[in-house]
């Protein structure tokens, strides 16, 4: 049995998915969840912009079909 904080195993972060039941999340976990999803939204928007620019360039070069 652990005698102090040094001996305790590190707490594993929860797997987080949209639609999770949020009732048992702590305030700090909810804040971390918001930050995680905001970061993921930003990353997704960046990739979408890159892919859209690539498609627009291809359509301009080859014509839209």
Distance CA 32, CA 43 (A): 16
Q: What is the pLDDT of residues 25-63, one digit of tens each?
A: 999 999 999 999 999 999 999 999 999 999 999 999 998
Distance CA 32, CA 29 (A): 5
Q: How many CA atoms lie within 13 A of 42 on its CB side?
A: 6
Where exactly are the structural domains of the chain?
24-60
Residue 1: pLDDT band by 50, 70, 90 thresholds? low
pLDDT at 8: 65
């Amino acid at each position: 049995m652990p005698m102090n904080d040094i001996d305790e195993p590190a707490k594993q972060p929860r797997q987080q998915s949209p639609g999770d039941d949020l009732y048992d999340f702590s305030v700090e976990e909810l804040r971390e969840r918001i930050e995680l999803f905001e970061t993921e939204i930003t990353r997704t928007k960046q990739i979408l912009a890159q892919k859209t620019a690539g498609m627009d360039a291809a359509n301009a070069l080859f014509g839209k079909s």
